[in-house]
């Protein structure tokens, strides 16, 4: 006679009711988590795929920004007060980010770079006028790519924050899992000893022949 072992509350929640049956020695039963492990492997494989895709997108964005920097540099003659793209570390401990800068006079005639914003004005006098339209297009390209790159950087930051939190608690998880693994192994050994002591033929390894239901 079949006996339902799973909570009946699973019924009517929109999904298939999870049911386990105690079928006896010849029935189908399992306490093995291999199927769950396989499903977790699929989840983590998908996670790795997404991380790889994010990395590829970040690398692509940096490559496009490098093209912006080259185009902007070439669209201006090698003269004073050019607007350029340079990679600066704008946040302590962060990855270098492309910033828009202008050449200005520094101490003792040295060239100094200062960061500029969206309202930057490009030189159009003398040789600068020859490719002024291309320089303006390159600046527009900078802002477009910088916006996309910023969204990608935030996604990476969020991912690092979540995985960092998991890593910080891994030691606690490890202690709990280790304690429970040891306790359950001891409980299993003790149960086998007690059952054998009164004549039950049970083995050390759990199996379907023991008539234990666990598949849901």
* pLDDT tens-digit series, residues 24-63: 444 444 567 888 999 999 999 999 999 999 999 999 999 9
CB 93 within 8 A of CB 120: no
DSSP element (H, E) containing 113:
strand 111-115
- What confidence score (pLDDT) does residue 22 get? 43
For residue 215, is it within any domain? no
3-state secondary structure of 92: coil
Count Cα neighbours of 187 within 13 Å in the Cβ-side half-sphere.
6
Q: Is residue 209 part of a domain?
A: no
Give the chain's domain count: 1
State how far the Cα of 208 lies from the Cα of 27, in Å rounded to an integer: 7
Instruction: Give residue 73's region: left, alpha or beta (phi > 0; psi -120 to 50).
Output: alpha
Cβ burial of 63 (10 Å; 0-12, 13-18, 19+) is exposed
Q: Let me know if residue 126 belongs to a domain.
A: yes
Give residue 206's pLDDT.
58
Please list the ranges in the chain whose pLDDT falls under 50: 1-29, 208-216
Q: Is residue 77 a part of any domain in this protein?
A: yes
Q: Is residue 71 part of a domain?
A: yes
Could you tell me the CA-to-CA distances from 95 to 78, 161, 175 in Å, in that order? Answer: 29, 15, 35
Q: Give residue 30's pLDDT.
A: 54
Q: Domain for residue 204, yes or no?
A: no
110-120 pLDDT per residue, tens: 889 999 999 99
Say how far residue 62 (Cα) sits from the centre of its chain. Answer: 19
Task: Report yes or no on 1 lying in a domain.
Answer: no
Instruction: Domain of residue 90: give its range.
Output: 8-197
Looking at the chain, how many residues does it have?
A: 216
pTM listed for this prediction: 0.70
In a domain, 202, yes or no: no
């Amino acid at each position: 006679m079949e006996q339902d072992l799973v909570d009946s509350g699973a019924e009517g929640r929109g999904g298939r009711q999870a049911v386990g049956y105690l079928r006896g020695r010849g029935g189908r039963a399992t306490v093995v988590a291999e199927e769950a492990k396989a499903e977790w492997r699929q989840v983590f494989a998908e996670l790795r795929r997404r991380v790889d895709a994010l990395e590829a997108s970040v690398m692509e964005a940096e490559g496009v920004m490098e093209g912006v920097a080259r185009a902007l540099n070439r669209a201006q003659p090698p003269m004073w007060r050019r607007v350029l793209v340079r990679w600066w570390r704008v946040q302590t401990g962060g990855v270098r980010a492309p910033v828009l800068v202008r050449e200005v006079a520094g101490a003792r005639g040295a060239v100094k770079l200062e960061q500029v914003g969206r309202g930057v004005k490009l030189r159009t006098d003398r040789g600068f006028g020859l490719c002024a339209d291309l320089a303006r297009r390159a600046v527009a390209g900078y802002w477009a790519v910088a916006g996309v790159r910023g969204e990608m950087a935030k996604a990476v930051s969020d991912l690092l924050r979540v995985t960092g939190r998991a890593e910080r608690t891994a030691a606690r998880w490890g202690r709990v899992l280790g304690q429970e693994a040891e306790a359950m192994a001891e409980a299993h050994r003790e149960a086998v000893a007690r059952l054998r002591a009164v004549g039950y033929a049970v083995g050390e390894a759990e199996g379907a022949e023991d008539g234990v239901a666990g598949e849901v």
